[in-house]
Amino acid sequence: MKKITLFFLALFTVGMIQAQSTQRSSARMHSTSKKQSPISNLQKSGVGTHVAASNLFTDNMDGDNSVAGLTAKGYTTYFRGTGGPGIAPEWIQGDTSVFFAFNGNDSSYVAGTFQSVTNTNDIDNWLVLDTLNITAGNVLSFFCRTELGSTFPDSIRVMYNATGATLPEDLNWVELGRFEVDVAGTWIKHSYAAPNSSATGMFAIRYAVADGGPAGNNSDYIGIDQIEVNDTTVILYTNDDCLGATDINSFFGQALGIEQVAGPYDNTAATTGPSDPADGFECWGEPTGNGAAPEINNSLWFTFVGDGGNYFVESGNCAGVTNYISDGDTQFALYTGTCGALVPEACNEDGPNATATVYPAGFSFGTTLGTTYYLLVDGFSFNGAVSIGQFCLKVTKLQTIGCTDPSLTFGTVTSTPTLTCFGDTLRVSAISAISQNTGSFNGICWIVSAAPLTGSTDPLNDPNFITSYRFQSPVPDTSARFFVNDGAFLTPGSVFYWTPVLFGNAVKNTVNPLFLQDLVLDPNCTTTGTSIAFDLKVAGDPVCSVGISESTATTYYGISNIYPVPAKNDINFTITAKENIKLVVSVKDNIGKEVSSKQLNAVKGENKITLDLNNTASGLYFINVSGEKGSYNVKFVKN
């Protein structure tokens, strides 16, 4: 899931290296990195060999990785940089002063360095594997990385030639993909599938950087380790591009409520392309879950024709999957129109069945009879680490719930106490709500207003409307929303109102609608619930000193000493109890989903608590402490 690349340093005289290094920024002043633990199921064989098991070729890069050593192992190397060679050859032995190998001996990796060319010349160094009997779908994989925190955008290209010709100038080389080296400072596995079969197939790894060299802006040092060609054929699909979208029309139009499963599909070798859309995926969460820079990476395309029905589509695991996509983490974007002129219709980052550890995309939508739809499925990229692997698509036709259907309900609506002291967190929720599911946009949403909006059929145009949360479609089992009374958004000292809204037949007024105000509601298909008043108190309000459950709870079992700030892999804090008491301590995200929890038999005095956050994305979270004296929330941020 993580994406990282290579790095390497020339083994020339210390004086020569230091002389060139003085021209570089501190990122070139290589410092030793901590060695990464080897993957337990990788076996060392000492040299590059053809194996009879699952691999056609494997080289764990033990031994001599100089140009001479690589040649002896069957590789062919080429220098095709501009301006002539630098002080280092095109490939060199791994330098332990920069970082250690992925596995095996500390220096058992091959590296490329900015010193392979001079001045600001372009780097183009080829590492060509020996010929292999390749079947379409056989996969080249290797681990690569660069120096932690490098400011130089080193890049790698992966090539394939079915003719057995090794020279870079041969016109039969095709590029399987390229990537910019990640700077996270860990080894990352990259995989690329052969597009066709050949008895003399050849893979090549290129360290290719424009404006490289000692005075250039884009090159530094990369490392490559554990090169393999796997003979387990990955199913290749033509749906790497909109024009080759896989037809899944047969999975639509089936019986109501019966899940139809398509696949498995594999995005491991999928790529981006010039025909990919520039919009329609703004809801995706890259790079850290905050959605600051959503991007298309290893994407697959599917197509179907609408029948006028309503559907729920999500990704997931199923029979036939042997390598489930990393963390189950997919993203959806739905379009109409034509390839090259796509019109965004819907977008989803995490569906209603996402958990704290698995993140499948899933959304519901209404279709228009005869309209062609295109579904883009991508792997989430967490700081450049892209989710890759196999997944299935699950399609369920939904019973149509019309605008006045008697089954419409807000379910059980709950809230925290309506008096909300400064610094406290209010929570509203609707459990087991049922909304309309007609039209392209439908679901549930919570809105905030300056006056009650109970029963309004046009709440967005009411002068008292302030804002909304993100709408949810389909309606989750529990629609929960939080608000911290800290003065950052609403001014304390007034009463504000939270109101649930069920809606259908809505149309968008922005390219990628996320909030209710991004839609135009149908007054005849909008049901507004009962407004809940919250009295937001200012800091120091005397009413907050006694008499409310949160104040009582914090008095009996208050939190202190929260660290680190912001949190990273875990959150630590102290609960000071006035007496022995049973508590439930949990961490919840900003939509109320529990990500970590433990029961605590607190003893009188200090109780030190640690909660694991390793599988949670960056963002805003709340520590919730509940006991017989009440409950309260304390917010924190995780990086």
Q: In which element (H, E) is residue 549 found?
A: helix 549-556
Going by their DSSP bridges, the two strands 76-79 and 110-113 should be labelled as unpaired
pTM: 0.46
Output the average pLDDT for the chain.
Answer: 82
pLDDT of res. 79? 96
| Higher pLDDT pick, 125 / 136 | 125
Q: Over 60: is that where the pLDDT of 13 sits?
A: no
Mean pLDDT of 23-27: 33
Q: What angle do CA 244, 249, 250 make, to 5 degrees?
A: 125
Instruction: Give the C-alpha separation, 199 to 196, whole Å.
Output: 10
pLDDT tens column, 367-388: 889 999 999 999 998 888 889 9
Q: How confident is the model at residue 49 (pLDDT cuts 50, 70, 90)?
A: very low
In the 8-state DSSP scheme, what is residue 85?
A: B
> How many Cβ atoms are within 10 Å of 22's Cβ, its own excluded?
10
Q: Where do the DSSP E strands lie in 517-580?
A: 519-520, 526-528, 532-536, 557-563, 570-577
Domains within the chain, CATH numbers bracketed: 14-230 (2.60.120.200), 242-398 (2.60.120.1050), 412-536 (2.60.40), 546-638 (2.60.40.2550)
pLDDT digits (tens, 9 = 90+) for 460-518: 999 999 999 989 888 888 898 999 988 888 999 999 999 999 999 898 888 778 899 99
CA distance 150 to 154: 9
pLDDT of residue 235: 44
Q: What is the pLDDT of residue 16?
A: 28
Complete DSSP assignment for 245-270: -EE-GGGSS--BT--EEEEEEE-TT-
Distance from C-alpha of 440 to C-alpha of 505, rounded to nearest angstrom: 6
Q: Is the pLDDT score of 227 beyond 60?
A: yes
Cβ neighbors of 235 (< 8 A, separation 6 or more) are 137, 264, 265, 266
188 or 117, higher pLDDT? 117
Model pLDDT for residues 357-366, shown as the tens digit of each residue: 889 999 988 8
Residue 567 pLDDT: 82
* pLDDT reported for residue 291: 76
Q: Distance between CA 30 and CA 117 in Å, rounded?
A: 18
Contact 356, 595 (CB under 8 A): yes
Helix ranges restricted to H, 14-133: 14-21, 67-72
pLDDT class of 586 with cuts at 50, 70, 90: confident
Q: How confident is the model at residue 54 (pLDDT cuts 50, 70, 90)?
A: low
Task: Report whether pLDDT(37) > 50.
Answer: no
329 falls in which pLDDT band (50, 70, 90)?
A: very high
Q: Map residue 412 onto helix, strand or coil.
A: strand
Question: Stretch 239-267: mean pLDDT, rounded?
Answer: 86
Confidence of residue 39 (pLDDT cuts 50, 70, 90): very low
pLDDT of residue 552: 63
